[in-house]
Amino acid sequence: MKRREFLIKSMVASASVAVSPLILSSCQTDLKGKKLTILHTNDMHSHIDPFEDGRYKGLGGMSARASAIKKIRSTEGNLLLLDVGDVFQGTPYFNMFGGELELKLMSEMQYDATTVGNHEFDNGLDGLKYAMQFASFPYLSANYDFSKNTIAGQVQPYKIFNKNGIKVGVFGLGVKLEGLVNAKMYGNTVYMDPIAVANEMVQELTAKKCDLIICLSHMGYDYGESDIPSDKKLAKEVSEIDIILGGHTHTFMDEPLLLTNPDGFTTAINQVGWAGINLGRIDVVFTSKGKGAVAFKPIPITNKA
């Protein structure tokens, strides 16, 4: 079995202590020892079949991905399967069938949620509405206002999942549409500032006593010094988002970025390239109550599908 391994090469131990406000809901239920497995994809771009040639030859494919997910489900009962948008566009499957097949397959794999990427608009709002009927899971987007158009009511800002007592708040953020998407395709969809919206989401999800907050961000990983909203900018400016699952920039990350912002909150950012070449996996474990001591429980890396 030849398998490329994505092990973290760095052996350097580094530590930084940061102070952040408590996620207060942790007091509600006994979470000790509870584990949540998060599987994630982004920018699958209609890659139903594995690549036939080129540098990614043989990689990807929704059938193999489904098997990998099923295998993990067989050992990990507490699991969330999330996607970060741009399910659409990239192979003739989309051009011919408008996303119908992609969403049927994701439903069969029991995805829990996705968000609205810029390519979800490629066949216009009517095209998106048509395809959505094949999705058994919700579209989450907090900074696109669809209330005045054809898919009003079919996209929700967030969803709270109760996973074996762990309350997980998941919300979505999208990229600025103007200049990126043909205006007649997104119609009167209103784009709102993602940073401001993220602050509102965090307040709301915290008030609703979520133990873990996850953002599905189709904004892109990093745009350096520019003002363009990105995952890094989000983590820097908004506290309390535990995990940002990213997309849009097709970034293959060697390891998740742990970013500690000026307020001392640390957010994990991860993105898994594109086209379904990798299935991202993050395991979260709530361990013992801290009494001033650092306590953690390692989870072995298993990349055996």
Partner 1 sequence: MTLLKQARKINRSLYLFIFLVACSSPGTYDISYSWSPVEINPDVRGSESIEAIIVPYRARLDSIMDEVIGYATHDLTTEGQYESTLGTFVTKLSKEQSATSFKKEVDVAIMNHHGGLRAPINEGPITLGDVFELMPFENEMVLLEITGDDLTELIKFIGQSGRSMIWPVSFHVSGTTLLNIRVDGKEVVSDKIYMISTSDYLANGGSGFSMLKPLNRVDVPPVKLRDMIVQEIREQTARGDSIRTDIANFITVSEP
* Amino acid at site 28: Q
Comparing CB distances to partner 1, the nearer of 9 and 153 is 9
Instruction: Rank residues 104 and 156 by Cβ distance to partner 1 and give the closer one.
Output: 104
The residue (of 156 and 209) whose beta carbon lies closer to partner 1 is 209
For residue 206, the minimal CB distance to partner 1 (Å) is: 6
Contact 191, 15 (CB under 8 A): no
Min CB(280)–partner 1 separation in Å: 5
Instruction: In whole angstroms, give the CA distance from residue 93 to residue 100.
Output: 9
Output the six-digit token pair for 230. 């990105």
CB of 235 to partner 1, least distance (A): 12
Residue 43: how many other CB atoms lie within 10 Å: 28
d(CA 114, CA 289): 33
Strands 243-246 and 212-217: parallel
Separation in Å, CA 127 to CA 85, 92, 119, 179? 15, 15, 11, 20
CB of 215 to partner 1, least distance (A): 15
Six-digit token pair at 6?
A: 């994505």
Q: Which is nearer to partner 1, 17 or 227 (CB)?
A: 17
Whole-angstrom distance, CA of residue 171 vs CA of residue 206: 12
Q: Which is nearer to partner 1, 156 or 259 (CB)?
A: 259
Q: Which residues does residue 83 pair with via DSSP β-bridges, in sequence order?
A: 41
User: How far is 190 from 149, CA to CA, in rounded Å?
Assistant: 10
Q: Which is nearer to partner 1, 100 or 237 (CB)?
A: 100
CB of 159 to partner 1, least distance (A): 21
Q: Which residue in 236, 260, 238, 257 sits closest to 246, CA to CA?
A: 257
133 Cβ neighbours under 8 A, 6+ residues apart: none
The alpha carbon of 172 is separated from its chain's Cα centroid by a whole number of angstroms, namely 8
Q: E strand or H helix at 160, and its extent?
A: strand 158-163
Task: With both helix axes pointing from N to C terminus, report the angle between 62-75 and 100-108 in degrees, rounded to the nearest 10.
Answer: 20
The minimum distance between CB 153 and partner 1, in angstroms, equals: 26
Which CB sits closer to partner 1, 152 or 180? Answer: 180
The residue (of 30 and 147) whose beta carbon lies closer to partner 1 is 30
Question: Pairing between strand 266-270 and 257-260?
Answer: antiparallel
